[in-house]
Copies of this chain bind each other. A is one copy, B any other.
C-alpha cells in the first residue's frame, strides 16, 4: 500500500519481564518464520484492513530495573511451558542482541523525576534514531503499582511541571514513563492497571501533544471470558445473582499481586466490567491467589448463579487454564501496531476503539466484548478509508517532536 513499510519500535517498561520477553521472542520468531501469528488480532483481515505497520518489522527495546538477560529469561519461560524450548535456543543470539537494546530503568530516589524523565526521553530518541524507526511506542508491562492518591499536582499538567521544576518527584513510576514518552513524541500503551497515562496531568499532556494512548490493564484471561459471557446473560434476560471468581497464579505477576496494595489496582479493573454489562451490582467474592508452583500459568474458576423464568435457579461454572504471558504478548504487539497507526492518522488522547484489549478501557464504558470487537473493526475500516497513513518520509515522522513540545 505504501512505498515502504514504516518501521516501528516497541519500547517495553519492564523489558525483561515475562510479557516483554515473550513479545520479544515472538517478534524474532515471526521474523525468522519460526512461528505463525496465532493470537495476533491485527492479523485478522478486518483489523489488518486498517493498513498497519508490519508485524515482522517491530524492533524491541526497553527499560528494566531488574538483573538478568533476555536469553536467560527466555530459557526460564520455555522451561515453564510458555513457548517451546527449541524456540528459545534457536533465537539465543537474536535475544542477546535485543537485550543489548535494554536501558536501566529509573528507581525511586536515585535522581529527580525531572532528570529521570529527560534520561528516559533521551533513551527513546536514541532508540528511534539508531534504528531509523518511524514510530516508537512505549508499552508498560512492568509490575502493578498500588492506586495513586490524586494530589493537586497530579491533576493538572501545569502544576505537575511546576512540581517537577521544584525538584519534586510526585509521579508514580508508571506515570513518569508515560510523561517522558509523551515528551518524546511516543504513543503509550498501558498494559497494566497502574495509573500511567491515565493520571489526569499526564493525560492532559497527551492531549496537548496530540498523541494517542491506549489502556489499561490487558484483558487476557478470566475478565476476557466475563466480557464474552456476561452479555449472554444480559441479552437473554437471565438474572445473575452471584458471580464468584478465583484466580490462582504463580510467576512474578502472582508474587506482585500477593501484595494487597497492588492487588487492589487489579481487583478494581477486574470488577467493574461485569456490573457495567449486567447493569446492576453482583454479589460474589473475587480472589487473586499466589500459588508458586503454577509458574507462568493461571487457573481461574468462576461460578455464576442465575435465575431464569419463574425463579428457577441455574448455574454456570468455568475453568480457564491459560498462560498469561502467551496471551498478553501478541496483544502487546497488536497495540504497538494499532497505536502507531493511530498516531499516523492523527488520533490523540485515549483511544476508545482499542477498549477491546483492556479490562479498564480508557475513553469508554463499553465492556461487552462483542461490541468492543465491532468498535475496533469499525475504527479499522475508518482508518482504511482515510488511507494508509504510511510515512512518506517527511511530515508525520517529524511531526511528533513538535507536537509533544506543545506544553513544554
> Which residues does A use to contact B, with CB under 8 Å?
22, 25-26, 29, 35, 37-41, 43-44, 79, 81-87, 224-225, 228-229, 231-232, 235-239, 241-242, 244, 246, 248, 283-285, 287, 289, 291-294, 299, 301, 303, 305, 307-312, 314-323, 326-327, 329-330, 356, 368-371, 373-374
Distance in Å: Cβ of A402 to nearest Cβ of chain B: 36
Residue with the highest number of chain B CB atoms closer than 10 Å, among A22, A224, A241, A317 = A317
Q: How many copies does the complex hold?
A: 4
Q: Specify the chain B residue showing the minimal Cβ separation from A235.
A: B373
Q: Is the CB of A244 within 8 A of B291?
A: yes
The minimal Cβ–Cβ distance linking A370 to chain B, given in whole angstroms, is 3
In the bound complex, do residue A308 and residue B330 qualify as a contact, i.e. CB atoms below 8 Å apart?
Answer: yes
Q: How many Å lie between the Cα of A308 and that of B241 in the bound state? A: 26
* Contact status B283-A35, CB under 8 Å: no
User: Among the interface residues A79, A231, A311, A312, which one has the most CB atoms of the partner chain B within 10 A?
Assistant: A312
Chain B: minimal CB distance from A233 (Å)? 9
**Which of chain B's residues have a CB closer than 8 A to the CB of A37?**
237
Q: Of A29, A311, A356, A371, which is in contact with the most chain B CB atoms at under 10 Å from its CB?
A: A311
Q: How far is the CA of A370 from the CA of B356 in the complex (A)?
A: 14
- One of B44, B308, B317, B326 near A235 (C-beta < 8 A): B44
The smallest beta-carbon distance between A323 and chain B, in angstroms, is: 5
Kindly provide the distance from the CB of A75 to the nearest chain B CB, expressed in whole angstroms.
10
A307 partner, pick from B29, B38, B87, B236, beta carbons under 8 A: B38
A38 touches B239 (CB 8 A): yes
Establish whether residues A316 and B225, one from each chain, have CB atoms under 8 Å apart when the complex forms: yes
Contact A319 B320 (CB under 8 A): no
A319 to chain B minimum Cβ distance, whole angstroms, is 5
